[in-house]
Amino acid sequence: MSAMDWPEVPSVSSSTTLVRQILMVAVLVYTLLLFLALFSGFFYIRLVLASLSFSFFLFFVCFSSNLKLFHVIYVLFIFLMGLVALDRSGGSSLIAGFFLTGGLAMAVVIRDFNLGGVAYKFPLLIYLMYLYFCWLVLGFGPSEFNHLFSGYSRNIVGAVVLALLGGYLWICYEKDVRPSILLVILSALITIPLYGRSNIVALMLVVVFVLFFCWKYKVSLFYFCASVMAVIVLGPVVADYFSSETNFSSGIESPRYEMLLGYLSELDLFSLLLGGDERLVLAIQEYGGNPHNAFIRFHSNFGFMLFVSLVAILAVFIRLLSSGSGFLLVLLCVMLFRGFFDVIFFGNLIDYALVGPLAFFFRPEYKSLIFAKT
C-alpha cells in the first residue's frame, strides 16, 4: 500500500511497515521529551517538542487526501497572527502555533496508524504508578506535588493525567472497545492529593460519563447504588476531607475570574482582532504572567482566530450530535471545561492528547460505532 492511500481507511498500516515504525519511534521520542520538559522546565526541550509536533503536521499535509483549502488557510492565519503577537508574547506565540497545528495532526496520525497504546495508554499507566508511588510511599501532598514539575504546578501534574486519559478514552472510542474502568478510577483518585478543584471535578465527571456510556445500565446501576451507599455512610467524612485537604477549602472563588475580567476590560476593537496584551492585566502579572485560562492565552497569541476556532468547535459539536457520538461530545466538553481554568492546550505540550474529539472532522470515512453494547 502506498503512503498516499493511508487516510482512506480506518486502519491504514500494519505493524510491520516502515512508516508506522518511524511514526512509533517519533511518538515515543515525543513522550520522553514531554516528561523531560515537564520535570526540568528546560525551554529548549519545548522548542524541540514544538518542531517534532509540527513535523507530524507536515507529514499530514504531504500524505493526507483529507486536507482541504480551509485547513491551509486556517494554519496560515494562525502563524500570521502568531507573528503579529511575537513581540508581546516573547516569542511563545510562534511555538504555540507549532503545538496547535501539530497537535491535531499528531492526534490524527496516532489514530490512523494505531499508535494509541504507545501515545496514551502506556504513558498513562507509567505516570500513574509514579504518582501513586509519590503519594502512598513517599507521602507527597499538595506542597510536594506543587514542585514536582519544575516551573509548573500540581494543576499541570493533574492536567497531564487528564490529557493522557482523554487520549486513551478517545482511542478506545475510535477502536470501539471499552476502556478500563480501573484505569479511569485510578486517574480520578490521584486528583485528591493533587489538591486542585478543576482537576477533581473534571476527572470525577469523566468517571460518571464513562460508566454511563461504556457499561450502560447493569454495571452503571451497580456503581450508582454503591456510590449512593458510600455517600450515605461516608458522606460527612468525605465532605470534611474535601473541605479541609483540597483546594475546595478556598470555596469556588478564584483569581482566574479577576484575570478574565481584567483581560476583557483591556480589549478594544483593535486588540479584539489582533490579540490582547496580558502584560497590561495586573491580576495576571501578579501570578507570574500566567492567565490560567487557555482561551485568554489563545486570544492573546492569535487574536480573532480564537473566534474562528470556536466556530469550528461548534461545528464539531453539531457533527457529533448529528452522528450520535455522545461519548466524544461529553469528552470534548470536559476538555474545554478544564482548559477554561488552565493554559493546558490550544498551543501547549499536551495538545496531541487533548484535541482527539476534534479529529472527528478528519475521520477517513464514517462508520457506525457500537460503543458499549451492554
Q: Are 108 and 60 in contact (CB under 8 A)?
A: yes
Residue 141 phi, psi (nearest 5): -130, -165
* pLDDT of the residue at 227: 56
* Closest to 307 in 3D by CA, of 260, 272, 265: 272
- pLDDT band, very low/low/confident/very high, at 10 (cuts 50, 70, 90): very low
**What's the rounded Cα separation, in Å, for the pair 272 and 266?**
9
Return all residues near 160 (Cβ < 8 A) that are at least 6 apart. 38, 127, 350
Over the stretch 177-199, which tens digit does the pLDDT of each residue have?
Answer: 889 988 998 999 888 887 677 88
Q: What is the pLDDT of residue 230?
A: 53
Distance, in Å, from the CA atom of 99 to the CA atom of 115, rounded to the nearest integer, reads 19
What's the chain's length in residues? 374
**pLDDT > 70? residue 20:** yes
The fraction of the chain above a pLDDT of 90, given in percent, is 32
Cα–Cα distance, 118 to 245 (Å, whole number)? 35
Rounded Cα–Cα distance for residues 36 and 33 (Å):
5
Taking Cα atoms as reference points, which of 339, 325, 334 lies closest to residue 372?
325
Give the pLDDT band of residue 213 (cuts 50, 70, 90): confident
List of residues 6+ apart from 166 with CB closer than 8 A? 206, 331, 334, 335, 353, 354, 356
Helix (H) or strand (E) holding 327: helix 326-339
Average pLDDT, the chain: 81
| DSSP count for the chain of H helices, then E strands | 20, 0
Whether residue 124 has pLDDT greater than 80 = yes
CB 330 within 8 A of CB 110: no
pTM, rounded to two decimals: 0.84
Range among 141-145, 204-208, 254-258, 309-313 rated most confident: 309-313
Residue 126 pLDDT exceeds 90: yes
Helix residue ranges, H only, 66-196 = 69-84, 86-89, 92-112, 116, 122-132, 142-146, 154-175, 181-189, 191-194
**Contact yes or no for 178/374 (Cβ under 8 A):** no
Q: Is 98 exposed, middle or buried (0-12, 13-18, 19+ CB in 10 A)?
A: buried
Give the confidence band of 55 by pLDDT, cuts at 50, 70, 90: very high
C-alpha cell at 252: 469556588
Q: What is the pLDDT of residue 8?
A: 45
Q: Which three cell numbers stand for residue 291?
A: 492567565
Please give the average per-residue pLDDT across 253-280, as a whole number: 84
Is residue 80's pLDDT more than 70?
yes
Q: How many whole angstroms separate alpha carbon 106 and alpha carbon 363?
A: 14
